[in-house]
Amino acid sequence: MPAYEYRVIAAPRKGKSAKGLRSGAERFAHAIDITLNEMAEEGWEYQRAETLPAEERKGLTGKKVVEHALLVFRREVDESDYQDEDVATPVEASTQVFAHQDPPLSRAAKNDPQKPE
């Protein structure tokens, strides 16, 4: 069974002009075309486009949810590169569960762990 590695990049937000392209849709398609061809030159196969929500900072204390357009690519990797027991294959790495880590303690909490912040 082949092993794959994946790459996710932000989709272009603006079109790129070229001779003969008049509409915004044509220029945007041209920008996507350039991006797909650049990734293909590096051996990446286009899989799909995704729009996913992400929480971002708004002002000093606020948060907002925005959506990002992403392009997903994959390429086959040689499984012999992952024969070392300490290195997970790309498929194994994508299914690993990572333990939750608590945020680092503030300076005051480090000095007096019994005192609530």
Evaluate whether residue 30 is within a structural domain.
yes
88 is a domain residue? yes
In a domain, 56, yes or no: yes
Residue 51's pLDDT is: 96
Q: Is the pLDDT of residue 87 over 90?
A: no
Angle at Cα 28 formed by Cα 23 and Cα 34, nearest 5°?
Answer: 130
Task: Work out the burial of residue 71: count CB atoms within 10 Å of its CB; fewer than 13 is exposed, 13-18 middle, 19 or more buried.
Answer: buried
Which percentage of the chain shows pLDDT scores above 70? 68
Q: Does residue 117 have a pLDDT over 50?
A: no
Does residue 31 sit within a domain? Answer: yes
> Which has the closest alpha carbon to 12: 37, 45, 44?
37
Q: Is residue 116 part of a domain?
A: no
Three-state DSSP class for 23?
coil
Query: Which residues span the domain enclosing 91?
Result: 3-111
Please indicate, yes or no, if residue 52 is contained in any of the structural domains: yes
Each residue's pLDDT tens digit, 89-110: 555 555 444 444 445 555 555 5
Task: Summarize pLDDT for 59-83 with one digit per residue, the tens.
Answer: 999 999 999 999 999 999 987 766 6
Q: Is residue 67 part of a domain?
A: yes
Contact 4, 91 (CB under 8 A): yes
The count of domains in the chain is: 1
